[in-house]
Homo-oligomer: A and B are copies of this chain.
């Protein structure tokens, strides 16, 4: 067998045997138990998961209080708390481009190859489908309480929010005085 043929076989084998990779996009402001349950669920369906931290450029607003770096840390802490193998996940901040028709290309450029996109967000779904990707829905966990909007509102009002996020994430948010930051941003 000549070298070229060997190379072609090698490429085919790589293609057939390559792992299934999923993409999961969230803003994680902050990461909550619903996000973590979804990630745990997806880890059963794919070999590797690319977790995109969307709107990465924003922080210090009522909608986006935490920096991309803080959110990277939250995801890592949650994975570790749950015992998910860090080597099977990528955690990648991706900035909004505010021009929807190039957003998918922008995500693709910042992430390792992926096979399937998991999202319930209508625009994300639409854009990936128009670009030819396979898109699947996510099973939500206790959606009424476990929403980042609800958690930020509870932080603003001084209500308890700790039980709605993984323990290590709650501890981290307290270390960086996250709830206090949110309250100070409110006029």
Residues of A near any B CB (own CB < 8 A): 7, 11, 14, 56-61, 67-70, 72-73, 76, 79-80, 85-87, 90-93, 95, 97, 99-102, 104-106, 108-113, 122-123, 125-127, 174-175, 181, 184-187
Contact = CB atoms under 8 A, between A and B. Distances in A.
A127 B175 contact: no
A54 to B, nearest CB: 13
Residue from A56, A85, A110 having most chain B Cβ neighbours under 10 A: A110
B69 A110 contact: yes
Given A90-B91, A123-B185, A186-B122, A59 B109 contact: yes
Given A56-B110, A87-B87, 13 more contacts: A14-B175, A61-B123, A67-B109, A67-B110, A68-B109, A69-B109, A72-B110, A72-B112, A85-B87, A86-B87, A95-B95, A105-B106, A125-B184
Nearest to A111: B69
Contact of A60 (B90, B93, B95, B127): B127
B90 A110 contact: no
Contacts of A11: 175
Contacts of A187: 122
B110 A68 contact: yes
